[in-house]
Amino acid sequence: MTQVFLASRNRKKIEEMERILLEHLPDIEVLGIDDVEGYDEPVEDQATFEGNALLKARAGFAATGLPSLADDSGLCVDALNGMPGVLSARWSGPPKSDDRNNELLLAQLADVPDERRSAHFMCAVAFVHGDGPAYEQCASGTMPGHVIRECRGSGGFGYDVLFVAEDRPGLTTAELSREDKDAISHRGWALRRMAPIVARILGG
């Protein structure tokens, strides 16, 4: 069994990562933060998704000694000049809350007409398997769409209940099947670009 570490506590995200990596490495096991005793998460203080992903992957490798993956993703709303962006998970302040983040976003867009509610999800995935830039890889993906006016759906997490992707009109990403979302999501695109790189490196 080949183990990699994913710097996340989000079980759905860990399962998604494992599903996509299994297509390339059939003996892969993805461990998360809750599988590592005493893990100290770094402060995500970088200005870009890629910067935060690398920061977390480096910390994961330093703490566990395992090849480490990390992602940073968020929702970029055109009417809000690209915000919440890298602040997506913390948009409404501490403690982190998807419900409060969604409520705040709806309030900020309350007067924005439907035709100006365009947005996209962005994800950067970093892979660190040694010390130094030569052992670091990054990949990214996007999912364009728009923000609706009420929460719908019970799948996914974060802003999925408010986001309708261009490729699946009529349904929020929280209403899509797991397979459907994987096929079009920003994280899905980033992971599918990263998975062959991880397989090549770990598979020798």
Residue pair 50/103 in contact (Cβ under 8 Å)? The answer is no
Task: Tell me: is residue 56 an annotated ligand-binding position.
Answer: no
pLDDT in tens, the chain (204 residues): 899 999 999 888 888 888 888 888 888 899 999 999 989 999 999 999 999 999 999 999 999 999 999 999 999 999 999 999 999 999 999 998 999 999 999 999 999 999 999 999 999 999 999 999 999 999 999 999 999 999 999 988 899 999 999 999 999 999 999 889 888 999 889 988 999 999 899 886
Domains of the chain: 2-202 (3.90.950.10)
Task: Tell me: is residue 186 an annotated ligand-binding position.
Answer: yes
Task: Tell me: is residue 157 an annotated ligand-binding position.
Answer: yes
Residue pair 5/41 in contact (Cβ under 8 Å)? The answer is no
The residues that are catalytic are 72
- Token pair belonging to 43: 């402060």
Residue type, 142: T
Residue type, 84: P
Q: What is the distance between the alpha carbons of residues 176 and 193, in angstroms, rounded to a whole number? A: 22
- Token pair belonging to 182: 């994987």
Task: Tell me: is residue 13 an annotated ligand-binding position.
Answer: yes
Determine if the peptide bond prior to 95 is cis (ω within 30°): yes
User: Which of 8, 84, 82, 66 shows the shortest CA–CA distance to 41?
Assistant: 8
